[in-house]
Amino acid sequence: MIEGIFVEGLVYGIMVLGVFITFRILNFPDLTVDGSFPLGAAIMAIMLTRGSSPWLALMLALTGGILAGFVTALIHTKLIGAMGNNEQMVINQGVNPEYMKLIGVGLSNGLVALSGAFVAQFQGFADVNLGQGIIVAGLASVMMGEFILRSNKIAILTLRVLLGSILYRGLMYLGRYYGYYINLTPSDLRLITGLLIVVSLIVTQLRGERKWSGAGAAPLNGGDPKQGAVGTAPDAKEAAATRGSA
């Protein structure tokens, strides 16, 4: 059982990394994830049933996911504009923010599709419904990771994403196998996921972890609502507005 949870946690953990990149680093609630996950699974299933090598299938799944991410990033940059913790800072470093978004969203969805491909292997099948609730599961895992470990070092941020994923899968496992004692049905697990998110949010907030509390803040604000009061940013808003309408 432990081994099963661990493997599941790692396999889905790749998807959680993808969700972490868009939701937490880019501050961009990317709904493509629900689609790129089954996309990766489908590519894997089709390739395997045609007798191709699993490595080639994984590469193709990754590529498929990256392309899906590119489409989203392109639509986003051409239509809307700002993304990330501080777009002006990216520009100030002489870096094209559009490339960064392309790389970020592409990488994110590539990872998600890769995870989907592994899950298709793991479960022995793939269908469209695999994607259902993937974002929510990913978010819950990200938040549970933040719940157990506090850090601002990139290595630990990555590690805790995987830990969060394993913990989440463990809880889901318990819910699935022991839930019937208290009449829990599989669809009730959704409710548990929702509650997990709420509880993690509240606890992290109460502990006063400020650094990733950017939910709902405008991306250009530096992702910290409490800091937002320090300065008005007419220039930034002008800038964002013109870039958006250009």
Q: Which residues bind other proteins (CB under 8 A)?
A: 85-86, 88-97, 152-153, 210-212, 214, 220-224, 227-228, 230-236, 238-239, 242-243
d(CA 210, CA 224): 7
**What is the x/- site pattern for ligand ATP, positions 182-221, by CB under 6 A?**
----------------------------------------
Count of residues of this chain found to bind ligand ATP when the rule CB under 6 A is applied: 3
* CB neighbourhood size of 63 (10 A): 16
49 binds, among ligand ATP, other proteins, none (CB under 5 to 8 A by kind): none
d(CA 102, CA 217): 22
Of the candidates 195, 135, 146, 205, the residue with the CA atom closest to the CA atom of residue 171: 195
241 binds, among ligand ATP, other proteins, none (CB under 5 to 8 A by kind): ligand ATP
CA dihedral 61, 66, 67, 71 (to 10 degrees): 140
Q: How far is the CB of 26 from ligand ATP (least distance, A)?
A: 24
Q: What DSSP line would sit under 117-141, residue for residue?
A: HHHHHHHT---GGGGTTHHHHHHHH
Contact residue for ligand ATP among 203, 209, 238, 244 (CB under 6 A): 238
Q: How far is the CB of 26 from other proteins (least distance, A)?
A: 12
d(CA 217, CA 221): 7
- C-alpha R_g of the chain: 19
Q: Which residues contact 155 (CB under 8 A, 6 or more apart)?
A: none
Nearer to ligand ATP, 215 or 241 (CB): 241
Q: With contact defined as beta carbons under 8 Å apart, do 176 and 153 qualify?
A: no
Identify which range of 17-25, 36-44, 113-121, 235-243 contacts ligand ATP by CB under 6 A. 235-243
Nearer to other proteins, 115 or 221 (CB): 221
User: Judged by CB under 6 A, does residue 242 bind ligand ATP?
Assistant: yes
User: Judged by CB under 6 A, does residue 241 bind ligand ATP?
Assistant: yes
List contacts with ligand ATP (CB under 6 A).
238, 241-242
